[in-house]
Amino acid sequence: MVRFDIVSQGEELVSGSTTDTNATWICAELKERGFTAGWVTVVGDELDGIRDALASAARRARIVICTGGLGPTSDDLTTDAAALAFQLGTAEDPVALGQIEERYRSRNRPMPPANRKQAILPTGAVLLENQWGTAPGYWLDVDGCRLYFLPGVPSEMKRMFAHHVLPDLAARYALPPRRTVQLRCIGLAESEAGQRMQDFPLPGVTIGYRAHLPEIHVKLHLEPGVDAGPVIAEARRRLGDYVFTVDGGPLPAVVGALLTERGETVATAESCTAGRIAADFTSVPGASAWYVGGAVVYANAEKVRQCGVDPAVLEECGAVSEPVARALAEGIRERTGATWGLGVTGIAGPSGGTPEKPVGTVHIAVAGPDGTTHRRLKLPFDRARNLQMSTALAEDLLLRRLDGR
Amino acid sequence: MVRFDIVSQGEELVSGSTTDTNATWICAELKERGFTAGWVTVVGDELDGIRDALASAARRARIVICTGGLGPTSDDLTTDAAALAFQLGTAEDPVALGQIEERYRSRNRPMPPANRKQAILPTGAVLLENQWGTAPGYWLDVDGCRLYFLPGVPSEMKRMFAHHVLPDLAARYALPPRRTVQLRCIGLAESEAGQRMQDFPLPGVTIGYRAHLPEIHVKLHLEPGVDAGPVIAEARRRLGDYVFTVDGGPLPAVVGALLTERGETVATAESCTAGRIAADFTSVPGASAWYVGGAVVYANAEKVRQCGVDPAVLEECGAVSEPVARALAEGIRERTGATWGLGVTGIAGPSGGTPEKPVGTVHIAVAGPDGTTHRRLKLPFDRARNLQMSTALAEDLLLRRLDGR
């Protein structure tokens, strides 16, 4: 069990203005590969503090990932702190300087004098080129611990980590080359996914879970030589038809890809979700190829005007009912001429519930060339999450018509 | 300068599944009150690790806020770790036990035997009642440092902090009773807000900034005896009409409150924002009193069908143009009978831009009883953020008609 520590550096992280999401990301990456998480130490722009945090992390762990504090300004103190912590000198690294100068040259801008500071590394540091920003990274070996220093900007940090740190760790710890398969589920809680995957019978598989609400992602990490086919089949058997894609994208993107492939379109008529499905669909670049638009029918009068819902049905069954959901889906399909129509009506809460129709009651319907399907949801969450789940399950109801689940 | 440290405890925080947002919140609360941030140490469910983290935090700081690990299960180790760190015994606290039992009684449920563990406190601990959950908190004085132990559930932690920790700190450090005024701005970057507020001339005011995108919040902390009137007037003068509320709620809630007060309604016709304004409005509970619904007119044919946009205008000026935005706002107002109509059309990116209409070009319009107003936006962000800002600035354009800014 090889232990890693993280030292996250930056005044913004301890002043309350920024949350340290870098540490979460690094922890997930290293845990998935079998390393043991030690401490995450978050420290502001304070030379002695960074020095002490680095020194104690290096005593505790064999791998230390340090992010932040490599910039050109006077409050970027990480390199000075590392030199103090491990009694090293510092010197300008000509290769690092060349890389920084080259980055400015390629953008036709002169290098500001302040950036020269970023080429100063502790003695013995091994340079890690940063192709995505000006701050070079490096590693340093101290008494059996390797400390990796990466910039704090998340996009740069992640690329440096994938490009430099992971290959180095794979070589040092003989990490087996892995294949990872990702199953995305909708409508299943993370704990339920965990229970269904318990005592997974096939060897050579490590299972990880991540909640990207409303989706739950189940990751299967396969050791070398493990045949993916039977592993995926067994996982699908256990997770059931909650799995809407293997190694595909987010739910609206999967819907969009299938519609594009089929040359079909969809329109939406939303009451309680009020534009959330429309917003979700149009978060996919290029959605105009398959998403037409639709209606937000928050008021009952709009359900009648925009989708032709029969006022007598509204009166008799209420706005939150199966016939109204079906009428919304069918009405918007007919009026827009889209291949598919999606209708949603429900009570998201916190108020508006009755004994017969409690908060969380949502009716979703999909109208298509071969008829209309309907589903009644009983959601147990708060308003925001009820709306989020209604949106996703309505999209999933359409996807089930498309993929035949 | 009194220094505080934070120890965040929980395996989920170092396994990559949860980001430590508690620390960010606590840092902001304490920094605003003049305390100096030391380290944040995040540690998993490891008895020795928590022990060492607590001991070293208590050596470094005079205030330590420790969150998490107070639950009833075997991986809740904080109390045992505190006892080890400071060589204290532990004992069941009858008052704590009574509070836990009472919480279960009030919900008509028997207390599970495991929860009895939560009443065990280190010797010398001062109990802090948790009225919002079962895990009692406590504080502990060790060599000039006071350690506050709070549950890790954010909602419980925040209430315990406000109810117990802040009043205690105020008494110990003679914090002046403060009044805080919050100005919410839209359309202004945080850095620009900071520049405008620089060298604030009135004494007795501490200024804080928080980005709650798309809003920027400027907080004015007033010392006792400072007259709020002139301070707010000076801040408004500097921040200009970007300020849409003083001590009010989020933008859609402020719009809703004003419409409710006036007995008016609004409808939306959205092209690029595609339901985001509708979703935003209906995130406000009770929105049905003032939000009617509207159209998502992603395809040009829908702009014609749902809002009566003249196909010749679409042809001549293009979908992203002032006349089309005006026609959307006016068309949806007329067809729904709402007091106000909101129209948005634009190019969010990443593709679809032209030299005359680059990505980020968005036209917003508000139609009302006394005519239609229009604004052209040139947004510099990525697709998601362009859509977020378009949504907010369209809402703000309506609000300006309502509040006369």
Q: How many angstroms separate the CA of residue B95 from the nearest CA in chain A?
A: 33
**A31 near B CB under 8 A:** yes
Nearest to A293 among B21, B53, B295 (CB): B295
Nearest to B37 among A14, A28, A292 (CB): A14
SS (H, E, C) chain A: CCEEEEEEECHHHHCCCCCCHHHHHHHHHHHHCCCEEEEEEEECCCHHHHHHHHHHHHHHCCEEEEECCCCCCCCCCHHHHHHHHCCCCEEECHHHHHHHHHHHHHCCCCCCHHHHHHHEEECCCEEECCCCCCCCEEEEEECCEEEEEECCCHHHHHHHHHHHHHHHHHHHCCCCCCEEEEEEEECCCHHHHHHHHCCCCCCCEEEEEEEECCEEEEEEEECCCCCHHHHHHHHHHHHHHHEEEECCCCHHHHHHHHHHHHCCCEEEEECCCCCHHHHHHCCCCCHHHCEEEEEECCCHHHHHHHHCCCHHHHHHHCCCCHHHHHHHHHHHHHHHCCCEEEEEEECCCCCCCCCCCCCCEEEEEEEECCEEEEEEEECCCCHHHHHHHHHHHHHHHHHHHHHCC
**Chain B neighbours among A 320-349 (CB < 8 Å)?**
335-337
Place of tokens 């550096």: A9
Positions of chain B with pLDDT lower than 50, given as ranges: none
Q: Quick check: B279 and A274 CB within 8 A?
A: yes
Q: How many angstroms separate the CA of residue A95 from the nearest CA in chain B?
A: 34
Partners of A374 in the β-ladder: A365
**Chain B neighbours among A 240-269 (CB < 8 Å)?**
268
ipTM for the complex?
A: 0.82
Q: How many angstroms separate the CA of residue A121 from the nearest CA in chain B?
A: 25
Q: What is the pLDDT of residue A83?
A: 97
Reported as a single tens digit per residue, the pLDDT across B78-135 is 999 999 999 999 999 999 999 999 988 988 888 888 889 999 999 999 999 999 988 9
Reported as a single tens digit per residue, the pLDDT across A87-140 is 999 999 999 999 999 988 988 888 888 889 999 999 999 999 999 988 999 999
Reported as a single tens digit per residue, the pLDDT across A150-170 is 999 999 999 999 999 999 999
Reported as a single tens digit per residue, the pLDDT across A304-314 is 999 999 999 99
Q: Quick check: A275 and B282 CB within 8 A?
A: yes
Reported as a single tens digit per residue, the pLDDT across A18-31 is 899 999 999 999 98
Reported as a single tens digit per residue, the pLDDT across A60-81 is 999 999 999 998 888 899 999 9
Q: Report the range of poorest mean pLDDT among A32-41, A337-346, B265-274.
A: A32-41
Retrieve residue B152's tokens: 């890790």
Partners of B362 in the β-ladder: B346, B377
Sequence-separated (6 or more) residues with CB below 8 Å from residue A296 = A270, A274, A275, A278, A302, B268, B275, B278, B293, B294, B295, B296
Q: How many angstroms separate the CA of residue B304 from the nearest CA in chain A?
A: 11
Chain A neighbors of B293, CB-CB under 8 A: 274, 295-299, 302, 306
Q: What is the pLDDT of residue A45?
A: 92
Q: What is the pLDDT of residue B210?
A: 79
Interface with B, mutate which of A5, A21, A40, A209 (most B CBs under 10 A): A40
Interface with B, mutate which of A27, A43, A268 (most B CBs under 10 A): A27
Chain B neighbors of A296, CB-CB under 8 A: 268, 275, 278, 293-296
Chain B neighbors of A15, CB-CB under 8 A: 27-28, 31, 37
Q: Quick check: B291 and A306 CB within 8 A?
A: no
Nearest to B293 among A268, A286, A297 (CB): A297
Domains of chain A, first to last: 3-172 (3.40.980.10), 179-246 (3.30.70.2860), 258-403 (3.90.950.20)
pLDDT confidence band for A213 (50 / 70 / 90): confident
Backbone phi and psi for residue B328, each to the nearest 5 degrees, phi listed first: -65, -50
**A381 near B CB under 8 A:** no
Chain B neighbors of A3, CB-CB under 8 A: none
Res A177 pLDDT > 80: no
Q: What is the pLDDT of residue A210?
A: 79
* C-alpha radius of gyration, chain A, whole number: 27
Chain B neighbors of A32, CB-CB under 8 A: 16
Backbone phi and psi for residue B152, each to the nearest 5 degrees, phi listed first: -85, -20
Considering only alpha carbons, which residue of chain A is nearest residue B289?
A: A299
Q: What is the pLDDT of residue A134?
A: 85
- The torsion region of residue B344 among left (phi > 0), alpha (psi -120 to 50) and beta comes to beta
**A14 near B CB under 8 A:** yes
pTM for this entry:
0.83
Q: What is the pLDDT of residue B179?
A: 86
Q: Quick check: B298 and A285 CB within 8 A?
A: no
pLDDT confidence band for A292 (50 / 70 / 90): very high
